[in-house]
Structure 1
Amino acid sequence: MQQLTPEGQQRISDLAQRYYVSTDAVMTLLQALVNGHGTMAQFYHPELGGNGQWMQGGMTMIGDMFNNGLKAKVEGLCAELSSLLSSQPFVPAPAFSSSQMQQQGGGGSTAVSLFVPSAGGGSGSWWPGELGVPSSSGSQNNIRYAYFPGARRLAVDVNGRVSVYDTLDHQISGVSQQQGSGSSVTFTSQYGVVSVLSLPIISGDLAQQPPAKPAQAPFAPAPAEAPAPRPSSSPQEGDIFAAIERLADLRQRGIISEQEFTAKKTDLLSRL
């Protein structure tokens, strides 16, 4: 991992003090300039107006577009950092963190060696080498990111744990970390603010975990069918039996004949 020399740390600390920004903001610009070979930068940092771009001898754009004072500050920082990089051998996207800085004053105007040479001769990049050079990168707090639109990949490093995501059709303009007890990494695209975890993960800690199986309910025997209810007696059943008894009484008293009794009884019983 590429690191700053003590002289480089002091120079960055001096720039942060002179421009009244954090060393993390200066390091974000330095890393973006390294990605742009010292002549251009695409960056994101809250202290620098959010998303921004700078081109040597060209335009400067920041998210807080009407803040001319902040725009001049970004221009000054980029110009000085570009001048520092012009005397350095190009090292693709070294990884930085504010903990590497030493809050010291001073610092002369002579050229300094910013970066500790890589002992293994590697590129010094923290993302997988096959992704190449990102179009934009940045850092905030304990995260850093690099965006590769050609490969449709987003590399995110959170506390030294790197994950690579498929960006699908998103056109990413910045990555940030939502603060709070449930902090999460989000990015901004043409669809607004989106959680990084909504993207398919290609490599990293999450990709190595087997997909979670849906929870299955413990086996339970099918409930026994309730016995069919016995048919209840017809509401008219009692009335029919009472009518037959009255008919029998009329027959015994000679009011109706045996044939009439039998016919009426048959009719009533057919209604049950």
Structure 2
Amino acid sequence: MNATVTPDAESAITDIAQRHGLSRDAVLAMLLAVNNGGGTMAQFSIPELGGSGQWMRGGMTMVGNMFDNALKARVDALCGELSNLLATTTVFPPAPTGSSGGFTSNNWWPGDLGVPSSSGGQNDTRYAVFPGTRRLAIQVNGVTRVFDTGEHNIGGVQQQQGGAAGTVTFTSQFGTFDVSTLSELGARQVAETPVAAPAPQEIHHQAPASAPDAPVSSSPGTPAPSDDAASIVAAIESLAGLHQRGILSDDEFASKKAELLGRL
């Protein structure tokens, strides 16, 4: 995993990995997942932690084996610690300065968007996801378009071979969508795109996690009580969809629903 972190963050990752009995790469992968969720949730697929799963701070934790309570507790403890690390430590290095003309060929998105949680592309189409600023950048044939992702917590990306922006689809807690459903903030030629901070590890054609998508807080940091209530309602709706498709049994759905309603 090639994501670049600060020395302080690297030291913390090493310490956390040792204390939790995990590899450094597993902890870093979860750190990126928690960062992608604004510090309050994570959607992950880590073999050392049972494969695909989801975590929501102060609430729902789901792992590949839904009856493995020990693993759920382990994931919850790890994610809680990483959420605190993101809130108290500069994890990702700032954007470089002094580059010639203020541009770089490697980072094609506007620098004011921040550090993307994921980026990738195919042929003449590229994308970068910025949960911290709730933005999505799409570049097609040298033109970069920026969109407001609103309440979407993007956890998966799919792109058709040789497709344009309309053929890149994303998965969030609200299901699958494309940029036609988002508000566009502007388009510009690639030559006008200023330098951005180094990107974390690129992901290409990330499939949606098999567990139900967790809801997203509208901004990083500690959510307000109303945001918690909205997140819990969205989580129940996601579970209801799985129940309707037969993925969850009646007892499993009723138990999880009661657990979430108890937190309102």
* TM-score strictly above 0.5: no
Please report the TM-score for the alignment, with normalisation by the length of structure 1. Answer: 0.42
Instruction: With a CA cutoff of 8 Å and minimum separation of 6, indicate the structure with the bigger relative contact order.
Output: 2
Question: TM (normalized to structure 2)?
Answer: 0.43
Structure (1 or 2) with the greater helix fraction = 2
Answer with 1 or 2: which has the greater Rg: 1
